[in-house]
Each structure stands twice: as C-alpha cells, then as structure tokens.
Structure 1
Amino acid sequence: MEQRNQTSIKEFIFVGFSSDQGANLCLFAVVLSMYFITLTGNTLIIVAIRIDPRLSTPMYFFLTNLSFLDICYTTSVVPQLLVHFLTSPKTISFNRCMAQLCISLTFGSIEFILLAAMAYDRYVAVCYPLHYKVIMNRTVCIQLALASWIGGFLNALVQTGFTMRLHFCTFNIINHFACEVLGVIKLACSETFINEIMLMVAGVIVLLIPCILIMLSYVYIIRAILHIHSSESRQRAFSTCSSHLTVVTFCYGTAAFAYMNPRTNTSPNQDKMLAFVYAVVTPMLNPIIYSLRNKEVKGALAKAVRKNVPTES
C-alpha cells in the first residue's frame, strides 16, 4: 500500500505503431485477420487431437498445451491492440497495465519451458523408442506440463511484483503497443538496477537453461538419427522433430534477442516489431507449422473439418 501511494501515475499512454488513422485502419484489418487465423488454427489443433485416438500420445498432449498457450498469450495482447488502432489516445490504467504485464509474462514464460519439455519428449521418442511409453507415461507428462505452468506463473509474479515496487512520477508514455516489462520499467523515476538484474536472472532460468536443454536434446537426437540404417525410418524421425525445431527457432530467436540484454541499444521500433512477432505472428504460425509438417495432424484436421461440416440431405 505504501508503494502504491508513491506512484502518482494513474494510467499509461501507448505510442502504438502509427499516428496516421489510415495506417491504423489497415493495421487493424491485418491484425484482426491474423488473430482470427491464430484462434481458428490453434482451436482446430486442440479439437483434432481430442477427437482422434491416434493422437493420444505425449507429443500431442504437449502440442495441445502449446496451442492453448498460444490462444491465451495472443488474447492477452491483441484485443486491446485492435481497440487502440481505432481510438486515441491509447490509454490503459496502471492496474490494468500491471495485470496485462503479469498475464502475458505468465503465458510467455510457460511456453519457453514447455518447449523444453517437448524437446525431452522427442529425445526419449528417438533415442529410447522401445521404452518411450514407459518413460513418458501420463504421470510424467502431467508433471512436466505442471512444472511449465508453475515456473511461468512464478516468474511472472516475481517480475510484476518488482515492477509494481518502482516509483512512476509524471512521464507515462510507453513507446510500445502493450504493457511489456522493458517498456514499463523505462518510465520509472526510481532506480531500476534490481529490476534489470531480475530480468537477467529470469532470462537465464526461463530462456537460457531451457534453450541449452533443447540443444542438448537435439544433439543426442541427431546422433541417434544418424545411426538409423533405414532411410525411411530416418526420414520419419526427422519429420517428428522438424515442426518442434521450427517453432523453437521462432520463439527463442525473437525473445532471446529482446530480453537477454535489457540494456541493449535497439531502437523502440525494433523492440515493438520483436514483440509483435512473438505475440502475434508466432502464435499464428505454430499451428500452420505443425499442420503442414506433420501428416498425422493434417489427417486429424481434415477429419475434424469433415465432422463439423454439415452434409446435404
């Protein structure tokens, strides 16, 4: 309560992408289309996996979690962004800003940890195929998913708590389109050194360590695949890993560049574009990547669509 009394800022104003109304209308149409594709694609993935018994495996259990996270994460940002394309000024209250920051950090952090769990699943599937069902049993899958959710929530809680302790005086213009932690702490008129340290620690725990685990998993995966004599089996093994590896590249590439160095000299426009790619583009691409590069998912999606399309009598 004492810290809240020190904060005189009651609301923040976003700069957004453009002040031109025509450009904002075009951006509104583009982002709305992308949001629709994201919701539709990820929902279809979830439904297809749920209705197809062939997809009752750990790999698709984690993919369901990933699709759900993509829906939640992009929904924490995009609806507000769409409203702000059509309104001016683009304001958000201090409490709503902190809530958005916490929610988006939660789902974003969960996704990074979950991708490491998915890499472990692929490692076991390729390197220990005969023991796969025993090692990756339902209990282990649930524990890995829960660890991802708990880890992401704790990280968001810590980062939001340290951000709320900052003193915000009079400058309340965020050169961003959402309440993103780096953009918010730049407005503080109190010392932000601890916040930057905590961001670096979070970057190591949530980004770097999972990334190292993913790379180690794929070192063993590639080594195991190269020892497979059958070219067909080798191709099948590569196919089951390629979708995950593509998603990892998109997610970790943009987020690591943005968050691993809070004192980076990147311009605000670069920061916004990186955040846009991670919050809007990547959740849209994930279901496309998995559906295009996975025959089982494509078959299940076709089955789900046929099941929901009414037949002519």
Structure 2
Amino acid sequence: MKEELNLLKKGKAKLQELQYLIEMEEWIAQEYEANYERLRLEGGHALSPEVKRQGLLQIIMYFRKMREVAETVTETEVKLTLPEQSSPKGNRFTIEGVVDIIREKDSTTMYDVKTHDADYVKANKEDYIDQLNVYTHIWQNLRNEKLSGTAIIATQFPKSLKRAIDSDEEEKLQRELEKWDPVIPIPFSQEKVEDTITKFACVVDKIEGRDFQPPSVEQLQNRIKGTRQRFANRVCRNCDARFSCDAFRIYAQKSSSFSGGFAEYICDLGNTDEVENFTNTNAFETPPPLDINDLI
C-alpha cells in the first residue's frame, strides 16, 4: 500500500511538472507574439513565418535547456551605463549595455544573452571579452558590487538540434538538448579596461569624422573563425551599403556565380534562403494593428 501511495505521489508530481511546462511554453508563445507585433508596429519591419518560428523555437529551447538559470535570474535586462567619456578628438560619448544577473549565496554571475551560435562564440571569444570587461568595470566600480564570473548565453542552437526539432522525435530531441551547451564562460580582467574604452573612443571618432573605410577584398574572402562562412557572406550580406562598397563590388565580380552584368549585381538579394525569407515575409505579412494599445 505504501509503495502504491509513493507511485501515486510520483505520478502526480510528474503530471504537475508537465502541466507547468505546458503552461510556461504557452505563455512564452503568447508573449513572443505580442512582443513581435509591438516591435513590428513600432519599427515597420516584419519577419518571414520561418524566421519568426525559428526565433520562438530558440526561446523555448533556451528555457528547456537553461530552465534552472532562467528561474534563478535575480535581475533581468540590467542597464549598465558608463557616461561622460571623451575620445582622443574630444567627442563625448556614453557606453551602455544590458545584462542579466544571478545571485546565489556568495556568488554573483553576469550573463549576456546573444543570438549567436555557441561554436562561433567559442572561436571568437576575444570579440566578447572586451565588451564584458567594460560591463564588469561598471558593475564592480560604479555599482561597487563584486562579480564571481561572466558568461555569454548563445541561444542559436546547433544544426544537429535543429534537425532533431524538425524530426519531431522526442528521444532524439532530448539527446541533442543534453549535448547542447549554450553557456560560454568569458574570463574578465580589469587590467585592459582602459584599452577597451580607448578602442570604443577611436570608433566614435571615426563615426563622427565620417571615416567609413570598408575592409579589404582579402578580408571579405577570409572565412570567419568557428564557421564555414566567408566574411562577405556573414557580414556584407547584412549591410545595406554593400552595393556602394568598392570592396564588395570587386568581391562579387570575382565570384564564380557572377557573370558581370550590373542588373545581376544590383539584384543580388543574398542566398536562396534569404530570398525565400524575403519573399515569404511580404507574401504572408498580416496587416498591423491600427493602434499599439491593441497589443497591451
């Protein structure tokens, strides 16, 4: 009898857990849809159904994998500000960032959520170290609170997990979720903070001085660490100024798929997936609400 009661309790607990997960994922989907419509109304930009679906899946998979972290976050979207900085040419600027904080007993960890894939982050840690070093400086010196560690959470899931999701096989999905590790610890050192702030300052001077030099053609041809993509495909394809960029034009003319016609060059909307997403976005876009208050 006692064993049967224990089984009933376990079964009830399992059902309650399942109900909780179902309700949470339904809530995530509702909030995602409302937030998307709000941003679409404010910015006038839409996503194709597939891209929109992928965004929602990233959040749901993140919750399933990082539930413990998600449920223990003590401060979300904490705004960090380093005001009144001055560049070498006298331009004033402010550095701002948004992070999540988890406090557990005597430890405090800072997380920066990125929509990047984990392999890319691991291969390009130096791109994130400088940014998190400044955030750490702001937190520890301006807010006078110590940090135990910093990390990037890369929400874009690997191809193997995406295939498992598409296969609709629960066991396969569970295996891939267990293999997926989206948390990448990032070492922080306060010794290089001043150098990092100087780098920001030099960029500010270039922006204010209208000094926009494109990368070289050689750089466009190089593959980015942690990916199989060339710089031109990963970066230039997302740049609205690429058609007026000499380096990209030379790169495109050297491409084996480019026959040399101006019409072909100016009509280059990206790879097949990008063109399909662009087409689907316009084909399936629904009329926006007339008033943003309809979404609240």
Structure 1 or 2: larger helix share?
1
Q: TM-score by structure 2 length?
A: 0.26
Structure 1 or 2: larger strand share?
2
Greater relative CO (CA pairs within 8 A, separation 6+): 1
